[in-house]
Amino acid sequence: MATIKDVAMDAGVSVGTVSNVINGGKVSEERRQRVERSIQKLGYQVNGIARKMRTQRTDYVVVILPNIINPFYSLLLQGLEHALSAYDKQPLLCISDGEKEKEIKYIEMARANKVDGIIGVTFSDVEEYLDDTLAFVSIERRFSKNIPCVSGDNYLGGRMAAENLARRGATNLLLVQTIMSVDNEVRKRRLGFEGYCEENEIPYASITFSEKQVPSVYSSFSARSLIGSVLQAHMNNQMTENGRPNGIFAGTDHLAVVIQEELEQMGLCVPEDVQLVGYDGLRWMNTGQPFVSSIYQDTGMIAKTSVDCLMRLMNGEAVEDIVDLPIVFQDGGTTLPLPETDIKEKQGIMLPILEGEDRR
């Protein structure tokens, strides 16, 4: 394999001249042509990463995700790749499994290799490892430093879930959510849900699990067992003064699927006995029918907004949090139809009155 020294010798110039040609430095046109002919003749391969590191831009962006088992993160990754490619950037995927040590390692790796920046979903205590020397955009997690956060409108999403359950006939509501130890936007789903219930005098109860209690709804038998036992206690009126819930809001679609399975094992039918709303708007194979009725958030929009924020940070611009990206209610068959009193006819088209209703 030819080296830069081979190119210099063949072209009759110094190594420095070859380097200037490769990196766009000042070189006479005659010498440039000689070097380019030698590069082509010898088949010399330019080290693109090394060249870009010398110019302080690598065109690589580190993307830190907890996992890609969850289709939400897979869709988010796809959206990030599309958005980054529009800026001629490429993602370097780092899977953290939610572990602080891994996230720290990835942040330090990004800094050492002078990547252009990081877009991360992290719920660990890593703030002390972040500073102004590395552009960082956080998704669904606020940091106290000058790090922009991008998220859908989680507070409105929680209200929308409660409203849709109530409008569809649920009279006693239950929230089930996993809460991370660090402050994040996802917590606002509970605030919005409870706020709507209290404003409208709807009986409700809330179940919250820590990330240690429910580390994963995908593979943890103990977590699913805990969810099932607590849910059964509520459905048997052992933990509520309001009677058995007939409407449940789950903090994620995957949690909603687990709850639906548990309800069916108890002999309850969804949505006839208990209506169920999840969050994220996931679909079978990412393109088919929705898992459950859900609050849909556009991963493509979240990704594009995050990348746009990162590009602005890299250009030295001030960037504010964007935590009000639009969300809509998506009917997935685990809620009853709206009653006729909540539907109006306009120009021959039946339109739900509810704000944020998904009409696709």
198-243 residue pLDDT tens: 999 999 999 988 777 766 555 555 677 888 888 998 888 755 667 8
Beta 322-325 vs 117-120: how paired, if at all? unpaired
- Listed range (22-26, 65-69, 80-84, 334-338) with the worst mean pLDDT: 22-26
112 vs 157, higher pLDDT: 157
Confidence at residue 178, expressed as pLDDT on a 0 to 100 scale: 87
Q: What percent of the chain has pLDDT over 90?
A: 58
- Average pLDDT of the chain is 87
Confidence at residue 294, expressed as pLDDT on a 0 to 100 scale: 98
Q: What percent of the chain has pLDDT over 70?
A: 87
Segment 142-160 mean pLDDT: 93
pLDDT tens digits for range 73-99? 999 999 999 999 999 999 999 999 989
- Please compute Rg for the chain using Cα positions: 26
Instruction: Round to whole Å and give the CA distance between 86 and 174.
Output: 43
Closest CA to 214 of 250, 264, 245: 250
Instruction: Round to whole Å and give the CA distance between 71 and 284.
Output: 9
Decide if pLDDT at 15 tops 90. Answer: no
Q: Are 159 and 190 in contact (CB under 8 A)?
A: no
pLDDT tens digits for range 308-356? 999 999 988 989 999 999 999 999 999 999 987 765 543 343 334 454 5
Instruction: Round to whole Å and give the CA distance between 302 and 167.
Output: 29
Decide if pLDDT at 22 tops 70. Answer: yes
**Which domains can be identified in the chain, with CATH numbers?**
4-46 (1.10.260.40), 60-152+302-325 (3.40.50.2300), 154-297+328-352 (3.40.50.2300)
DSSP annotation of 1:
-
Confidence at residue 220, expressed as pLDDT on a 0 to 100 scale: 55
Q: How confident is the model at residue 265 (pLDDT cuts 50, 70, 90)?
A: very high
The secondary structure of 217-230, three-state, reads CCCCHHHHHHHHHH
